[in-house]
């Protein structure tokens, strides 16, 4: 068979049921192979590979990312050379920053033309090597099959991430034998993965950990996206409940621990809940699981968790240990295996942390999330509270990037892993809509809602039509504050209210008409508080694609807020969330029942 057929055969072998992509000259042989493969499958009464064509290649990348984030499987997208490939740089970097397993297959000009500035040629290997977990340029067609298979293995093994395979057009047309097995001999990588998979916490390490927990009076679990990626949510819940340790999660950790659970303090960090951040300030033993102490969490690393006498860190990536914050105990492993080992080592450990839990409850009661509930303008917080009453933490939520993203993180419940899809590290506007499409295709029976802002939605607005083209019941809520709200908030706080390039109140875009033009049968606008609840319920219950624009208060802010480089002690809680008046003395004594 030809190289293009080999590519499709390996995709089938890897269980790929959906792929996203945009065609073009250098990838045409592979698209032709997809067409022929699907025709053969349908003739045999089998299910073909679902090919989804977005508005742009960037949209294809974010759809693959949404598919991967919601399902845990590898997302696949296929594009042509030159601009097709370079349009995928942002989603590839986004997936690398958030550890998302995707495989991108790019067409490339024929091998003899590489380096001649041929039509639609770009140095994909050079560009993507800086952004991806691994990048391959297939110059030897005999290695094509093994390379594609290896790409899938690398994407999901060790710390997950994106893999790019650049395939010249003449390699796609090359005729060879499909072997049905084999990968590239990446001996160093495979030894490292094997060592990681066989890593276990020793009895000495376990004893040291529980000795720190025994001496602790105020332990706190700091949980990141690694818990979700390693499918460790069940083990985390057992661990937290067994030892009665409260839990704070990162933005990407939302859903790793049921946010309605009594031990949950929800999100910490720059826009985390005040009570979560105060708990971090107060804890004396911080246990980090699959988290990396990034700048949005540990803004001032030296002053992060200042009362923690000990910090433990379990992470799959050894380079993350001690990179930002020095720790006193660490173990390199995925979060699930680390938790299983700790549960085994601590099976007889007992200690009563009820005084600490009482302190946590007081923090919750004294510093609850709140906003201006008397304002005549629609408050975005209120919209999301109303939505939460309808979804009860059962929906898959995707977002763009900005204020709406943070409000969705703060005011919606997340009971399960893989129900919160957002661009965290890269903070890519335009992520939400295509990610929701990918998630809906990965989870066809689930309610998928994209919560977006007018700035973010504009970035990939063309994929509104993709929703209706494929008849997907994706719901889109646009919280329209007529501008780049998060930028405006920073400009008000740090740039003397010089609102440069962030105001869009004069823009003429009618999003409701635009949605109607793209085929949305439900396309409505709400601009007053009285209509919010009723319209939201009709929107969610609508059986097909639905679009709802809510005109919200342009001056609404995201609080709490820990300014860049600031400590949690300097957190600004705004006008409606009570802050600590002064340093709180910690006099919590926990009896040792071990």
The two counts, helices (H) then strands (E), for the chain are 23, 18
Cα 197 to Cα 376: distance, rounded to the nearest angstrom: 56
Fold of 380-558: Rossmann fold (3.40.50)
Out of 19, 63, 145, 169, the active site residue is 169
Q: Which of 361, 362, 382 is nearest to 370 (CA)?
A: 382
- Catalytic (active site) residue 169: yes
Q: In this structure, are strands 329-332 and 50-52 parallel, antiparallel, or unpaired?
A: unpaired
Out of 464, 486, 561, 571, the active site residue is 486
Three-state SS for 538?
Answer: helix
Q: What is the pLDDT of residue 198?
A: 94
Out of 1, 13, 14, 120, the active site residue is 120
* Strands of 151-209, DSSP E: 163-168
In the block, residue with structure tokens 């990141």:
224
Q: What is the pLDDT of residue 587?
A: 57
Phi/psi region, residue 565 (left: phi>0; alpha: psi -120 to 50; beta: rest), is left
Instruction: Give the CATH number of domain 3-196; options: 1.10.287.3510, 3.40.50.720, 3.40.50.970, 3.40.50.1220.
Output: 3.40.50.970
Q: Report the 10 Å Cβ neighbour count for 364.
A: 20
Q: What is the pLDDT of residue 476?
A: 98
Out of 119, 178, 495, 594, the active site residue is 119
- Catalytic (active site) residue 57: yes
Query: What is the b/e burial string over 47-74, where b = at least 16 CB atoms within 10 angstroms of the residue's CB?
Result: ebbeebebbbbbbbbbbbbbbbbbbbbb
Q: Which of 456, 398, 461 is nearest to 429 (CA)?
A: 456
Q: Is the dihedral of CA 282, 295, 449, 487 positive or negative?
A: positive
pLDDT digit of tens for each residue in the chain (594 aa)?
999 999 999 999 999 999 999 999 999 999 999 999 999 999 999 999 999 999 999 999 999 999 999 999 999 999 999 999 999 999 999 999 999 999 999 999 999 999 999 999 999 999 999 999 999 999 999 999 999 999 999 999 999 999 999 999 999 999 999 999 999 999 999 999 999 999 999 999 999 999 999 999 999 999 999 999 999 999 999 999 999 999 999 999 999 999 999 999 999 999 999 999 999 999 999 999 999 999 999 989 999 999 999 999 999 999 999 999 999 999 999 999 999 999 999 999 999 999 999 999 999 999 999 999 999 999 999 999 999 999 999 999 999 999 999 999 999 999 999 999 999 999 999 999 999 999 999 999 999 999 999 999 999 999 999 999 999 999 999 999 999 999 999 999 999 999 999 988 888 999 999 999 999 999 999 999 999 999 999 999 999 999 999 999 999 999 999 999 999 999 999 999 999 986 555 655 555 543
Order of strands, sheet of 522-526, starting from the edge strand that comes earlier in the sequence: 420-421, 396-399, 448-453, 475-480, 546-551, 522-526
Element spanning 75, H or E? strand 75-79
Q: What is the pLDDT of residue 7?
A: 98
Token pair, residue 47, equals 């299910």
Three-state SS for 453?
Answer: strand
- Partners of residue 396 on adjacent β-strands: 448
CA 208 from centroid of its chain's CA atoms: 33
Q: Are 3-196 and 201-366 the same fold in CATH?
A: yes
* Strands of 318-467, DSSP E: 329-332, 396-399, 420-421, 448-453
DSSP letters, 220-237, are EEEE-HHHHHTT-HHHHH
- Catalytic (active site) residue 486: yes
Q: What is the pLDDT of residue 298?
A: 95
CA 552 from centroid of its chain's CA atoms: 25
Q: What are phi and psi of 310, to 5 degrees?
A: -140, 145
- Catalytic (active site) residue 365: no
Whether the CB-CB separation of 511 and 583 falls below 8 Å is answered with no
- Partners of residue 330 on adjacent β-strands: 313
Three-state SS for 394?
Answer: coil
Cα 455 to Cα 467: distance, rounded to the nearest angstrom: 19
Q: For residue 486, what are the CA distances in angstroms to 53, 91, 437, 502?
A: 32, 22, 25, 9
Cα 519 to Cα 512: distance, rounded to the nearest angstrom: 11
Q: What is the pLDDT of residue 505?
A: 85
Phi/psi region, residue 322 (left: phi>0; alpha: psi -120 to 50; beta: rest), is left
pTM attached to this predicted model = 0.96
Q: What are phi and psi of 107, to 5 degrees?
A: -75, 155
Three-state SS for 179?
Answer: coil
Q: What is the pLDDT of residue 217?
A: 98
543: exposed, middle or buried (C-beta count within 10 Å: 0-12, 13-18, 19+)? exposed
Cα 262 to Cα 246: distance, rounded to the nearest angstrom: 8
Residue ranges covered by each domain of the chain: 3-196, 201-366, 380-558
- Catalytic (active site) residue 524: no
Instruction: Show Cβ contacts of residue 591 under 8 Å, excluding neighbours closer than 6 positions.
Output: 351, 352
Q: What is the pLDDT of residue 506?
A: 86
Q: Which of 244, 254, 263, 321 is nearest to 288 (CA)?
A: 321
Fold of 201-366: Rossmann fold (3.40.50)
Q: What are phi and psi of 248, to 5 degrees?
A: -115, 145
Three-state SS for 551?
Answer: strand
Helices 380-391 and 403-411 pack at an angle, to 10 degrees, of 40
């Amino acid at each position: 068979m030809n190289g293009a057929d080999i590519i499709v055969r390996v995709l089938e072998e890897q269980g790929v049921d959906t792929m996203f992509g945009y065609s073009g000259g250098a990838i045409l042989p592979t698209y032709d192979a997809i067409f022929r493969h699907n025709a053969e499958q349908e003739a045999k009464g089998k299910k073909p590979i679902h090919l989804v064509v977005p508005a742009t290649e960037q949209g294809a990348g974010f759809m693959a990312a949404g598919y991967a984030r919601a399902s845990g499987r590898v997302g696949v997208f296929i594009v042509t050379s030159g601009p097709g490939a370079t349009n995928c740089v942002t989603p590839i970097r986004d997936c690398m920053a958030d550890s998302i397993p995707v495989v991108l297959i790019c067409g490339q000009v024929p091998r003899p033309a590489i380096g001649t500035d041929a039509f639609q040629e770009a140095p994909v290997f050079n560009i993507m090597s800086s952004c991806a977990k691994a990048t391959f340029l297939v110059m030897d067609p005999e290695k094509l099959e093994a390379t594609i298979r290896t790409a899938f293995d690398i994407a999901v093994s060790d710390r997950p991430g994106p893999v790019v395979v650049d395939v010249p057009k003449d390699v796609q047309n090359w005729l060879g034998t499909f072997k049905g097995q084999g990968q590239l001999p990446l001996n160093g990588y495979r030894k490292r993965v094997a060592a990681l998979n066989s890593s276990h916490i020793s009895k000495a390490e376990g004893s040291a950990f529980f000795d720190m927990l025994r001496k602790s009076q105020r332990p706190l679990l700091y949980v990141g996206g690694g818990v979700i990626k390693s499918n460790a949510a069940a083990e985390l819940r057992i661990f937290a409940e067994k030892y009665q340790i409260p839990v704070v999660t990162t933005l990407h950790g939302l859903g790793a621990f049921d946010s309605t659970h009594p031990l949950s303090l929800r999100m910490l960090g720059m826009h985390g809940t005040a009570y979560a951040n105060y708990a971090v300030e107060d804890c004396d033993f911080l246990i980090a699981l699959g988290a990396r102490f990034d700048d949005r969490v540990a803004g001032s690393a030296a002053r992060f968790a200042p009362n923690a006498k000990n910090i433990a860190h379990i992470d799959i990536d050894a380079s993350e240990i001690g990179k930002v914050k020095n720790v006193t105990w660490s173990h390199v492993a995925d979060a699930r295996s680390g938790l299983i080992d700790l549960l085994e080592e601590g099976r007889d450990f007992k200690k009563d942390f009820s005084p600490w839990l009482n302190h946590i409850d007081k923090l919750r009661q004294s510093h609850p999330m709140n906003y201006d509930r008397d304002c005549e303008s629609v408050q975005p917080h209120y919209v999301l509270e109303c939505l939460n009453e309808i979804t009860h933490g059962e929906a898959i939520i995707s977002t763009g990037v900005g204020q709406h993203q943070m409000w969705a993180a703060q005011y919606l419940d997340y009971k399960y892993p893989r129900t919160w899809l957002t661009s965290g590290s890269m903070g890519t506007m335009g992520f939400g809509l295509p990610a929701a499409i990918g998630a809906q295709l990965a989870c066809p029976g689930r309610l998928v809602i994209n919560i977006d802002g007018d700035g973010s939605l504009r970035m990939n607005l063309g994929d509104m039509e993709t929703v209706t083209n494929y008849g997907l019941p994706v719901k889109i809520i646009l919280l329209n504050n007529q501008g780049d709200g998060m930028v405006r908030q920073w400009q008000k706080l740090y740039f003397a209210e010089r609102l440069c390039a962030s105001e869009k109140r004069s823009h003429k875009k009618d999003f409701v008409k635009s949605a109607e033009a793209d085929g949305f049968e439900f396309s409505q606008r709400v601009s007053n508080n009285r209509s919010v609840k009723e319209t939201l319920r009709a929107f969610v219950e609508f059986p097909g694609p639905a679009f709802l624009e809510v005109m919200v208060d342009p001056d609404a802010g995201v609080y709490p807020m820990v300014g860049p480089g600031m400590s949690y002690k300097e957190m600004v809680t705004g006008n409606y969330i009570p802050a600590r008046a002064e340093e709180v003395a910690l006099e919590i004594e926990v009896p040792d029942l071990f």
